[in-house]
Every structure is written in C-alpha cells, then in structure tokens.
Amino acid sequence: MKDVLGTIPPVASSHSSLSSSNNTNDGISVYTKTLSISAAKTSTPFVSIQNDQRSLTHRDKNYCFLGFFSLFDSPRFDVPDSILKIRQAHIRIAMITSDHPTTATAVARQVNIFSEEISKRNGIDTFQIEENDNNHSVFRLYRNETLLQEHMRGIITLFSFRSKATTTIEKQPSWCERWYSLCTAQFSEPKPIFYEEKEKEKIPYALVMTGSQIGYMDDFMWNWVLSHQELLFARTSPEQKLHIIMEFQRRGEIVAAIGDGTNDAPSLKYADVGIAMQSGTNVSKEASDMILLDNNFSSIISAIETGRLVADNLKKVVIYLLSAGSWSEFWPIIFNMWFGIPLSLSVFLATILCVLNDLIISLALALEKPETEIMSRPPSNRQNDHLLNMKLLVDAYLFIGNLECFTAFFCFCYYWLDNGISFYSFMFTYEYFANNLPTAYNSEEINQMIHVSQSVYYCSLCIFSIFNYFSKRTRYASIFQHNPFWGQNRNWFALVAIMVSISVVLIFTQVTWFNEIFSSAPVPAKYVMPTIGFGIGWLVIDELRKLCVRKFPHSIIAKIAW
C-alpha cells in the first residue's frame, strides 16, 4: 500500500498484515487486519468489506491494492480416513470449535465430519432466534434455508411434562416377569422384559449452530439438535463446550472429548473419556484420561479396535473356561453323590486340567487377532452389555458344556462296557462298588480300572477342549476366514498351546512315576477316539451357527448368539 507521499514503503518486520477472502451466498467477504508492532505507530483497526461500495471507497485514500496474503492450516492427512473409520464403527462425531461457522463448515467437509451423502445431498439444518410481537424468543428451524418449524421457547417442553388424563389401565407385570427381570438385570438385560425402549433414529441431516445460541436453548431444542447425525458447533467458549458435553451425557451418550488447549481442559475433565495431544498444553494433559503420544488422530482408531478386541477375547476366555473348567468338573461330583457311580475324574486330574490344560489354551484365546468385522459393530452399551451375560452362560453351559460332559462320560462308560461292566451295574453302589459287580475282578483290578476310567475322562476333556478352542476363537467369522496357522490372523501361540496341552496329558497318563504317585493310568487310544468324532461334529454345528448369524442377522439364532 502507498503512504501519504505516494511511494510504496518496503515491508518491515515491525508490521504484519493479514487479509482473507471468503465466497459466501451473499457474495465475496474480504477481511483485512493490519497490526503495528512498533510503539511509535498506531495499529490499523479490523476492516470488513462486505460488497459495499462505501466500504470500498471510504478508506481508499492514500492506499493502493497490491494483493492478498493467505494462511492455510491444513488438517493432518490421516484425519479424513480416520473419521470414516470411526463413523463405520457406529460412533457419532460432533465438531466443537471457536472458528467462524463458514470456516468450520469448510473444514468439517474436508475431514469428512460432514459427509457427501448427508451435508450435500440432504442438506444442512440451521435455526435462528428471533423475538415475536410479545417479546418472546422464537426458534425458527430451517432446512436448506427453508423454514421447517417454529418453536417458542419453553412451550413444548412444558407440555411434555404434564400428565395426560387417561382411563386406560396399565397391565402390571406378573410375579414371574418381575422375578425374571430381577435375575436378568445382573447380566445383559437390566430393564424388565415388559419395558421396551426403542433407540431413537437420528435425523439424516447435518446441523450447524453457534455458541451464542446455546444460552437460549431448551430441552426441545436440545433434543432436536442432538438428534442429527452430523453436528457442528462454531464460535463456542469453554463453558459452552462443557454445556454441550453435559447435554450429550444427559441423553445417555458416552462422550469422548479431544483437545489440546487450556480452554479444552474443562471439557476433557468432564467427558467420559478425555483425550489430549502430547503437543498440547500441560493443563489439557492433566485434565485428560488418555494422551496421544504421537499426536496422531488415527491412534484413536487403534485404541478403539484394541478395546473391542480385549472385550471380545475376555468373553472367549470366559466361555471357554466355564464349559471346560467348571461344568465338566462339576458333573462327575454330582453323578458320584446322586447316582453312586465311581468318581469319573480324580481330584488330581481335575487340578491338572484347571491349572495347566485350560490355562494354556485360554492364553491362546487371549492372544487372538481381531475379526474382520470388529470395527463394523455398534459400540457396546455399558448399561446393558456385560462381560458375563445370559447369552454367554446359555452357550457355555447349555450347549458346549453339556456336549463336552456327554462326550467325556461316553468315553468313560465305553471303557467300562468294553470290560464287561454296564452302566446300570454300578448305579447307586456308592462305596460298595467293588462288591456289587457281577464279574470276577478283585479289588486291586477294580481300583486300577477306576484309575484308567478317570484318565479316560480326563483325556477326553483335554482333546475336546482343543476343538472347543477352534470354535470359540471367533464369534462370527468362519474358521476358514480366521485361520490360526497362516494368513494375517495366524496365532502361533495356539499351536504351541495345543502341543503343550497334549504333552501334559501324555506326561501325567503315560509316565509310570506319575501313575504311581498320583493314581493315574495309561489310556488306550481306542477309548478316546469317539472324542474326535464329537469334536468334529461340534465344529460343523458351530460353523453352521456362525453362517446363520452372518446371513440372517435378525433370526432367532442371531439374537441368542453370544
């Protein structure tokens, strides 16, 4: 720009100038700001030129236009893809910023917070607050600049809390329903079965609002605003950011806030999960629950996937141990106490099964890789989704647990039948088992046969647990899609765990020293061969179940799947 003498002075370090141009629906908006660092000169105030000829001419004296200098703070290259992956995981994203709405909208579209199919194809919702003739605040809701609805502050909210007179008699739940709801409340269904609450569908439009409008909001407006799929809050203060998070939480949302500045500290502290950047201020890092050490937004994707993987693997370990480590050891005691048959699993072998065989296989389950669709599931609800739920218990005890017990008892009885002793001959014999047998076996031979039968039961459980591992290592994916031995989902520890488990079985059943000390015995292979057939049959049944869950997600089998 020229000075009063008509010359163009050189650019000095004591001056800084910034101009910006924005294309809007009203035309071109030009903003110019010149600051003087030198104390001897007065700083030029902020100038806004809005397509007004007077604004263009009343300051044109002694100046000549040279050009524009623009600054562009581009987002990180990985942010747009990370936003898409987060949205694919059924996680809603809201942008809260102190930037101008026009600038914030452009950034939101650039990083995919505003998607093409919603913000451009459907449109953007806005609203304005005006006063009517009675000096009452009126919300005018616009959709694509078309008036959608008018709402007077407080009217709809007031009516929603009034009780309506009705003559309908509500049906009270029976004592059976109350008892069932009380039991299931501790697992996966905390609400009674007679109470149904459908998830509210989100409005398939984007919404832009400013922080100055927050102070006028009532419950009706908050419900309308927070029901949109894509949200942008611009020109917000730290108090307003905190208010927005509180309104989300009031409606049952689990909120994770991301920030790096001191002004973000209240929001990071109050959110369910506060995420700060390593490059951020110390105040924000102290207020947060998690810090991104690499300052990489995509690390949040890895954290979400890891959290879901840990929850999945914990469920796999639990369902495996419940069926193999408790249910299969519980029934031998029940049969011994109630039906008087010899104890089918000795205390020592039961201990070895728990502390060695089951432990090794469960460690392999804990190290499983994530399934391909793990980031396509909706997030779990901490009010309803528990690690131990009714679906998991039914699958562990009613299906796999009973099948595993039946297989082991089948091999146990097969050994006795092969030696001329039927199952009915030792029913209700208790301690008189050796005296009531119709065969000519002496007491030492009977004791040895008991040791062999107990070892048969133990070996059958260990072999079936290997098949159980292959069925429980995935919840929905097929074993051919999630192969443990090759491919990206391979788990080398699984092969090691299987080999170690088989070695433990051979050591405690085939080594003579252990047989003499711990009352075990060598097991002929033919008595445990039926376990392989039952195990393969169980794998086929479970593969069909997973196929049904994938192909028919709304079927009864899918609803009871753990």
- Amino acid identity at 397: Y
Domains of the chain with bracketed CATH: 1-71 (no CATH), 79-161+173-253 (3.40.50), 301-559 (1.20.1110.10)
pLDDT at 458 over 90: yes
DSSP string of 331-360, one letter each residue:
HHHHHHHHS-PPPSS-HHHHHHIIIIIIHH
Query: At 139, is the pLDDT very low, low, confident or very high (cuts 50, 70, 90)?
Result: confident
DSSP string of 411-461, one letter each residue:
HHHHHHHHTT--GGGGTT-GGGHHHH-SS---HHHHHHHHHHHHHHHHHHH
The mean pLDDT of 304-322, rounded to a whole number, is 92
Copy the structure tokens of residue 36. 């003087």
Whole-number Å distance between alpha carbons of 339 and 88 = 55
Higher pLDDT, 511 or 435: 511
Please write the tens of the pLDDT for every residue from 86-120. 999 999 999 999 888 988 998 999 999 998 888 87
Q: Which residues contact 444 (CB under 8 A, 6 or more apart)?
A: none
The mean pLDDT of 119-139, rounded to a whole number, is 80
Beta-sheet pairing, 137-143 with 124-131: antiparallel
Total Cβ atoms within 10 A of residue 101: 17
Angle between helices 402-418 and 443-472 (to 10 degrees): 150
The mean pLDDT of 174-196, rounded to a whole number, is 49
Higher pLDDT, 185 or 293: 293
488, HSE (Cβ side, Cα atoms, 13 Å):
4
pLDDT at 50 over 60: no
Determine what percent of the chain is predicted with pLDDT higher than 70: 77
Specify the pLDDT at position 426.
Answer: 76
Q: Which range, of 299-303, 448-452, 556-560, averages the lowest pLDDT?
A: 556-560
84, HSE (Cβ side, Cα atoms, 13 Å):
11
Whole-number Å distance between alpha carbons of 147 and 149 = 6
Specify the pLDDT at position 148.
Answer: 83
Whole-number Å distance between alpha carbons of 520 and 133 = 94
Specify the pLDDT at position 66.
Answer: 64
pTM of the model: 0.75
Specify the pLDDT at position 152.
Answer: 76
The mean pLDDT of 1-23, rounded to a whole number, is 50
Specify the pLDDT at position 64.
Answer: 62
Determine what percent of the chain is predicted with pLDDT higher than 90: 40
Side-by-side strand order, sheet with 124-131: 94-96, 228-234, 203-210, 124-131, 137-143, 146-152
Specify the pLDDT at position 360.
Answer: 93
